[in-house]
Amino acid sequence: MSKGLKNENIVSSVDIYPTLSELCGLKVPDWVDGKSFIPLLQGKSENWNNTAYSYFRNGISMRTPDYRFTVYFRNNKKVYELYDHTKTDIESVNIAGEKPELIQQLLSGWAKGNTGLYEH
């Protein structure tokens, strides 16, 4: 009996549709945002982006293997939240105020998920 596969790569909910389509032998439409994660299930992760974006309450979050970085748009200004997942999976200590240089590094990746939904 197989013990299964443990995989800690980051996937997004938009990746589920193309994955299920591929498993069913269906062609994935070009307009779909997600990407099939079948290669991850096969243990192949070399070309995987390993980043997921989410949108909630006037904020855009970027999840990487090490961090969750969120920018909230509140009262015409940006409010940052940063959680370090290398220390704990519990997001209870916002370290954004302590890590301005890290925020600057993460902003370029975060911008790839910024659709302009919350900016005026």
Does one domain contain both 62 and 17? no
117, part of any domain? no
Measured between alpha carbons, how far is 56 from 106 in angstroms, rounded to an integer?
Answer: 19
Does one domain contain both 60 and 96? yes
Convert the pLDDT of each residue in 96-115 to its tens digit.
999 999 999 999 999 998 88
Does one domain contain both 35 and 16? yes
Backbone angles phi, psi at 104, to 5 degrees: -60, -40
16-50 burial: b if 16+ Cβ within 10 Å, else e: ebbbebeeeeeeeeeeeebbbbeebeeeeeeebee
In this prediction the pTM is 0.80
Measured between alpha carbons, how far is 89 from 100 in angstroms, rounded to an integer?
Answer: 21
* Of 39, 38, 36, 50, nearest in space to 8 by CA: 50
Does one domain contain both 69 and 90? yes
Q: Higher model confidence: residue 43 or residue 96?
A: 96
Q: Percent of the chain beyond pLDDT 70?
A: 97
